[in-house]
Copies of this chain bind each other. A is one copy, B any other.
């Protein structure tokens, strides 16, 4: 039983394909009775226009791609990506754009656009090489819509949706200084990743500004286990630091777990501060720098839609802020599952 096509309807009704096509689009040029007839047969026979054929003639697929730069395992283990995805999807859905999703270690960012599989693309800026940026820029000139979440290592004319990490970091440092800390350690993201370097720099500056000493910097791989390892390493060297800062919440979670296994306590033995403020952070009482992940995702999608529709959209500006919770201040009232 083949799928029913426009042709089939036309033949059964003894009219031209174009008539059917128009009738189904409620073209006013088509007489009411004809439209009704066509519509009825279409419903009865379960006709549905073929997406590929449509895309071919329209030169657009109506799909937006979302490509994530790491394995599915890595990506979905981190609630940060869920939040981003949530933001993206919450705009894509009502706008009528399905999302094509890819999570791969070495993604070919441009391909879906080049194959006209998607009309627009959302990617994480931090993972894009200079060459990839250039290719995407060229595609945008040809009509594709692209938005990056997070700044890429090189400057670009692409729409970049970012969030100023300084306010939150500054507030965190102020908080530490105020609560008597003087020496801290930083568990940054991957040493060679520009975004991790930038964030580390922000910490350095803010720490200095508040008179805090950065005792030690180690690099984690942004995973739970990486955070646990870093924590063990810091603990084993009998660290002087009274507070540990983490490149993301996931590593901070790993650290909490490692501390727990070693009968170490936060904040009694060491203060712990994360970055992202994903949902479990609130549950665990993790002090962290809040990033508006949902909004970033939504903004990226909104921008892509605006680019495609040719409508104007004034870019939103986003900032981080520090959320003090249990792991950074013993004297704060919030408990284990505190807000």
A residues at B contact (CB < 8 Å): 1-3, 46, 48-53, 55-56, 61, 63, 71-73, 75-77, 79, 82-83, 85-86, 89-90, 93, 98-104, 111-112, 114-117, 141-142, 253, 256-257, 259-260, 279-280, 283-284, 335-339
Residues of the B chain whose Cβ atoms lie less than 8 Å from the Cβ of A63:
100
Q: Which residues of B contact A55 (CB under 8 A)?
A: 51-52, 55
The answer to whether B73 and A90 have CB atoms under 8 Å apart is yes
In the bound complex, residues from chain B placing their C-beta under 8 Å from that of A337 are 253, 256-257, 259-260, 284
- Taken together as a complex, chains A and B put the C-alpha atoms of A90 and B115 apart, in Å, by 23
Q: Which residue from B52, B103, B339 sits with its C-beta under 8 Å from A56? A: B52
The answer, among B1, B77, B89, B256, for a CB contact under 8 Å with A283, is B256
Q: How near does chain B come to A180, taking the closest CB pair, in angstroms?
A: 24
Which of A50, A51, A79, A338 is most buried by chain B, counting CB atoms within 10 A of its CB?
A51
Q: A82 with B93: in contact, given A116-B50, A257-B337, A260-B338 (CB under 8 Å)?
A: no
- Is B116 in contact with A51, judged by CB distance below 8 angstroms? yes
A77 to chain B, nearest CB (A): 7
Partner of A98, one of B1, B79, B100: B100
* A101-B103 contact given A52-B61, A115-B51, A337-B256, CB 8 Å threshold: no
CB distance from A1 to the nearest CB of B (A): 6
Q: Report Cα–Cα, A284/B256, bound state, in Å.
A: 11
Find chain B residues with CB under 8 A from A256 CB.
283, 337
16 interchain pairs, CB-CB under 8 A = A1-B142, A3-B114, A3-B116, A49-B115, A51-B55, A52-B53, A72-B90, A72-B93, A73-B86, A98-B112, A98-B117, A101-B101, A256-B283, A256-B337, A259-B337, A283-B284
In the bound complex, do residue B77 and residue A86 qualify as a contact, i.e. CB atoms below 8 Å apart? yes
A260 touching B336, Cβ below 8 Å: yes
Copies in the complex: 2
A199 to chain B, nearest CB (A): 23
Complexed CA–CA distance, A61 and B118 (Å): 13
Contact A82 B76 (CB under 8 A): yes
Nearest Cβ in chain B — how far from A12, in angstroms? 18
Q: How far is the CB of A89 from chain B (nearest CB, A)?
A: 4
* B76 in contact with A85 (CB, 8 Å): yes
Cβ contacts under 8 Å, A85 to chain B: 72, 76
Q: How far is B226's CA from A72's CA once the two chains are assembled, in angstroms?
A: 30
Nearest neighbor of A67 in chain B, beta-carbon distance: B98
User: CA A72 – CA B183 in complex, angstroms?
Assistant: 42
Shortest CB distance A229–B (Å): 16
Q: Which residues of B contact A49 (CB under 8 A)?
A: 115
